[in-house]
Structure 1
Amino acid sequence: MEHETRRSKGINSIEVGYRVLEAIQEGPGSVPLKTIAERASLSPSAAHNYLASFIRTGMVRPDGRGQYALGPSLAALGMTAVRQMDTYELVEGAALRLRDATDLGVAVLIWTEAGTVIIYNRPGSPEGPFELRNGLVSTAWTGGGNVFIAYLERELTTPVVERELGVSHDECTAVMKSIATNVRNAGYAICDLKQIPDYRAISAPVWNSDGTIAYALTLTAHKDAIDTSPTGPHVTHLVRAAAQLSHTLGAPQSVMRQAVE
């Protein structure tokens, strides 16, 4: 029993220490002790004890102004983890778990020079009469495309959307601004799929470790089968899955918070 108690305390200490590292990861830049303690739900003295150990191992470095940043040994561990990590496998796994949790169709989309592209999809249960296909899709009329409109630089998305809509630059800008505002206010996109009548999509951003958008994770179903209410199970599962995948990919917490304005 004593051995188990000690082992549990040791595991708990690692978990608490990880909260300290996450508090520093949030940034921006070097972070003062007081902020680290608040983010990690620790007293300043307890946070300082963890920092002292992390500094000795090179996982944290002081900047000489009473603030702290992640250190070189942690960077080395991170780079090794990235080399060993199969990102596509992680994304596929997250999408499959989301499908199992909702019974809806799922899709993973990326941005390319040509526009929005589905790289992975699986149908819901039961399967509908329409089949999603991997490849180039609309940006203006898909949930994933709307996510990219909201979070990518406008110079990347505007030419694609202008071609799709066939409108003037000013009209396109107004449409994109409206889409971006709605997505950023909610933190996810809701879109009726023009290419699949009576189908609707909900899509949420997945973030990279450098704070840029990596993927759009999407649920699709007939509009009568998908619950788009903010507190409903489908939005809840989707947003949670996208956040968990972003975290696995190393996305800063600050970026995920700022995605909802």
Structure 2
Amino acid sequence: MKRESRGIQSIEVGGELLRALARSGEPMMLRDLAREAGMAPAKAHPYLVSFSRLGLIEQDETTGRYEIGALALELGLISLRRLSAVRIATPKIAALAGHINHAVSLAIWGSNGPTVVQIEEPSRPVHIAMRVGSVMALLETATGRAFAAFMPQKTISAALDNGIDRYGVGYNPKRAPKAPKVAEMLGEVRKHGIARALGDPLPGVNAFAAPVFDHAGHVALVITAMGPEATFDAHWDGDLANALRDCAGDISKRLGHGTVRAAE
């Protein structure tokens, strides 16, 4: 019988606060966080102070709410990069960025929606409102539309019903497309196999996004190419769009996927 290793009970107790924060997915007040972790606020507070010093959590100075900190995010991203799909895709998007001379990003479906886990810059970087860890709006960005078009629609509908899109980069409630427009937009994405955004949500910046599928036909990640409209070939069948399709298709094959298709 395997002997159980001795641990440190106080760390395990404090870890319940981190678990509660992860389950929530949103910033929480001390009293709510403590309640979800099954402890009194007075007991929870010293743990939160220590976690803050380590960078595992951080507290908003204005609202007083606690959220996941920089160190926790970094650890999570390291874990994501070790996933086979991201490891296989990373050198591919580096080569693609050099070939098309535009920025290329990798995004996965995270707990808060489309989440950027890797960015490859071209020789002349374009300044965009995106960084590793950014959550992209589901219907207002090329990255989000690629997920929305090819993931199971019940997953996307549930995400939108739960307000998962509300805080994504590019989200603007005044520009949120209506249901008929969404159906038409996603139909166009499926038709071409890639999503396109022209100067929206970032004026002067165009983007194409292509899904990568795993052996089971599920969307493993999305590759997005973006650049200034003056030098970005935005034609559906242009060299840039085809290079992106080829890259996504090559990675899909490496993951055991035969043909790229929309999820049922």
TM-score calculated relative to the size of structure 1: 0.59
- Kept in 2: contact 1:158–1:173 (CA 8 A): no
Match of 1:119 among 117, 120, 123: 117
Unaligned runs of 5+ in 2: 1-81, 167-171
Equivalent in 249, 252, 258 of residue 258 of structure 2: 252
Q: Which has the higher helix share?
A: 1
d(CA) in 2 for partners of 1:248, 1:99: 19
Q: RMSD value over aligned CA atoms? A: 2.6
Indicate whether 1:196 and 2:202 are aligned: yes
State the match for 1:215 in structure 2: 221
> What SS does structure 1 have at the residue aligned with 2:208?
strand
Could you say what secondary structure the match of 1:144 adopts? helix
Maintained 8 Å contact 1:209/1:250? yes
Counterpart contact for 2:103–2:126, Cα < 8 Å: no
TM-score by length of 2: 0.59
Q: How many residues align?
A: 172
Which of these residues, 93, 96, 101, is aligned with residue 95 of structure 1?
93
Could you say if the C-alpha distance between residues 86 and 129 of structure 1 is closer, same or farther in structure 2, counting changes exceeding 3 Å? Answer: closer
Corresponding position of 1:139: 138
1:98 maps to amino acid:
L
The Cα offsets for residues 140-165 of structure 1, whole Å up to 9 and x where unpaired, read as: 12111101111112232235446446
Alignment partners' CA distance in 1, 2:92 and 2:160: 29
Distance 1:97 1:132 in 2: 20
Q: Is 1:149 aligned with 2:148?
A: yes
Residue in structure 1 matching 2:241, options 209, 227, 235: 235
CA distance in 1, matches of 2:120, 2:84: 20
Specify the code of the residue in structure 1 equivalent to 2:257.
A
Distance 1:151 1:129, change over 3 A: closer
Q: Are the aligned partners of 1:188 and 1:202 in contact in 2 as well (CA < 8 Å)?
A: yes
- Supply the AA of the counterpart residue of 1:141: E
Q: What per-residue deviation string (whole Å, max 9, x for no partner) do you get for residues 41-79 of structure 1?
A: xxxxxxxxxxxxxxxxxxxxxxxxxxxxxxxxxxxxxxx
Partner amino acid, structure 2, of 1:208 = D
The CA distance in 1 between the partners of 2:144 and 2:128, in whole Å, is 19
What SS does the corresponding residue of 1:235 show, helix, strand or coil? Answer: helix
Tell me which amino acid in the other structure corresponds to 2:181.
V
CA distance in 1, matches of 2:93, 2:243: 11
2:49: which partner in 1?
Answer: none
Q: Which moved more, 1:120-129 or 1:216-225?
A: 120-129
Q: Give unmatched runs, 5+ long, in structure 1.
A: 1-83
Larger Rg: 1
